[in-house]
Amino acid sequence: MEKIINYLINERNQKPEIAAKIASPFGRHDDIRAELETWLERRAYPKDNPLTIEGYTAEMISKLAPFMDGVGACNFLVTLRERPENGKRIIAEGFKRK
């Protein structure tokens, strides 16, 4: 989690409290956290055997929603795992932004 929080503070200029809140879902899903940590190290999504949830990888999400960085794409994987119908609806609606 430290890598994620440091990225949020140092590169996305989040306050520590906000960074911790953004990072908290990754504490519930070790595999998604590991995928994000790989992205943080390489600034690229894994090509060999990427994590797939409900038929989507983080790279696929980033292509569907180019405004998302690795944190956003991996956070969306959490959404797909915890609330798959909600996640699929968001995808079907084209990631509408308010």
- What pLDDT is recorded for position 91? 96
Whether the predicted pLDDT of 5 surpasses 80: yes
pLDDT given for residue 96 in this prediction:
83
**Residue 9 in tokens:** 């503070």
Residue pLDDT, tens place only, 21-80: 999 999 999 999 999 999 999 999 988 899 999 999 999 999 999 999 999 999 999 999
Residue 98's pLDDT band (cuts 50, 70, 90) = low
Position 86 confidence tier, pLDDT thresholds 50, 70, 90: very high
Domain residue spans in the chain?
2-92
pLDDT at 16 over 90: yes
What's the distance, Cα to Cα, between the start and end of the chain in Å? 29
pTM recorded for the entire structure: 0.93
Question: How far is the C-alpha of 17 from the C-alpha of 39, rounded, in Å?
Answer: 22
Concatenated DSSP letters of 23-67: HGGGGG-HHHHHHHHHHHHHSS---SS---BTTB-HHHHHHHSTT
CA nearest neighbour of 8 among 36, 27, 31: 36
Q: What residues contact residue 52 under an 8 Å CB cut-off, 6+ apart?
A: none
- pLDDT tops 80 at residue 97: no
